[in-house]
Amino acid sequence: MTALQNYTKRFLEHLEIEMNRSLRTIESYGRVLCAFFAWGNLHIPKDITADKVREYRLYLNRKGNGRGGTLKKNTQAYQAIVLRTFLKYLAKQDVSALAAEKIEIGKTPDRQVDFLEFAEVERLMEAAEGTSLRSLRDKAILELLFSSGLRVSELTGLDRHHLNLDKEEFSVRGKGGKLRIVFISPAAKTSLKRYLDKRSDIDPALFIAYGKTGLVNTKNAKRESKRLTQRSVQRLVKHYAKKAGIGKDVHPHTLRHSFATDLLVNGADIRSVQSMLGHASITTTQIYTHITNERLKEIHHSFHAKRKGKGSK
């Protein structure tokens, strides 16, 4: 094991223990660092030079993404952030290496936020109507995603005992292990109750997989739960969006964006939305203000157009 590999191992352990980062984040950081070290044939911290970093960023900027294009600027910026975080860690360990401040992230394009209009949300929910156990499950999933703004990983991680339908709220552990309160709308409560009342199994998972003749995940007999996977929820959302005649590329995260946008448009303050989404920084939540500002502009124009019409009579 090279010195850099050893420091990387310690750094990833630091992210897990002291920083309480998710397993997915830790694996992602590890891949980014390993790719850079392998590309540059780097073995010790002093091998990381400003010139080497610049060459690698130029390489990334010109690298194909396998779909006829190049890597997104946000993806490139993320790799720079990972390297800078690693260098900050080395500095705290008194390891001589390139100063983290030498790496500039650069400006990245504003994030594109896709969301559904309220009429589209209603069509999506109507598309999942039905009395079968699978239909009731799907309706409950869609209603809960829009009602709560849950991430798909948070949704699939829920167990039945997590819910409190009487109080219409429950706790969920999100990114970084942060706990937050999630609220259930009356529509989501009704859908969840109908789904749970019809279930006769003892599986602890809130949402489980069904096939045409029962549970589909029967290949692995060692599995204690038939818990629905994130990929299954993604396919489910896309299926009902298509069924509802929605032309947009709809994902579970689209419903999270729709939840946040709906709150802001209807008067919620951004700090409250930040809390309900579980964002660590208000900056992340502010991506929605661009949308709501456009909505307010439309309302303003609509209102003044009416006043102009009245005045011209």
For residue 23, give the CATH number of its domain.
1.10.150.130
Q: What is the per-residue pLDDT for 272? A: 85
| Domain co-membership, 96 together with 165 | no
| Domain co-membership, 41 together with 74 | yes
- Dihedrals φ, ψ of 183, to 5°? -105, 150
Q: What percent of the chain is predicted at pLDDT more than 70? A: 85
**108 in a domain, yes or no?**
no
**85 in a domain, yes or no?**
yes
Q: Is 223 a catalytic residue?
A: no
Catalytic, out of 57, 84, 139, 151: 151
- Residue type at position 296: L
CA distance linking residue 253 with residue 274, whole number of Å: 15
Q: Is the pLDDT of residue 262 over 90?
A: no
Q: Is 288 a catalytic residue?
A: yes
CA distance linking residue 254 with residue 134, whole number of Å: 22
Q: Is 307 a catalytic residue?
A: no
Q: Which domain holds residue 256?
A: 118-297
| Domain co-membership, 162 together with 267 | yes
Q: Is 175 a catalytic residue?
A: yes
| Domain co-membership, 248 together with 136 | yes
Q: Per residue in 61-118, pLDDT tens?
A: 888 777 777 888 888 888 999 999 999 999 999 999 999 999 987 665 555 678 888 8
Q: Is 29 a catalytic residue?
A: no
| Domain co-membership, 200 together with 69 | no
pTM: 0.67
Q: What is the mean pLDDT of residues 228-247?
A: 94
The domain total for the chain is 2
- pLDDT grade, residue 242 (50/70/90)? very high
3-class DSSP state for residue 190? helix
| Domain co-membership, 10 together with 61 | yes
Q: Is the pLDDT of residue 219 over 90?
A: no
**193 in a domain, yes or no?**
yes
Q: What is the per-residue pLDDT for 235? A: 95
Q: Which two tokens stand for residue 103?
A: 């790496």
| Domain co-membership, 92 together with 207 | no
**111 in a domain, yes or no?**
no
- pLDDT grade, residue 221 (50/70/90)? very low
Q: What percent of the chain is predicted at pLDDT more than 90? A: 52
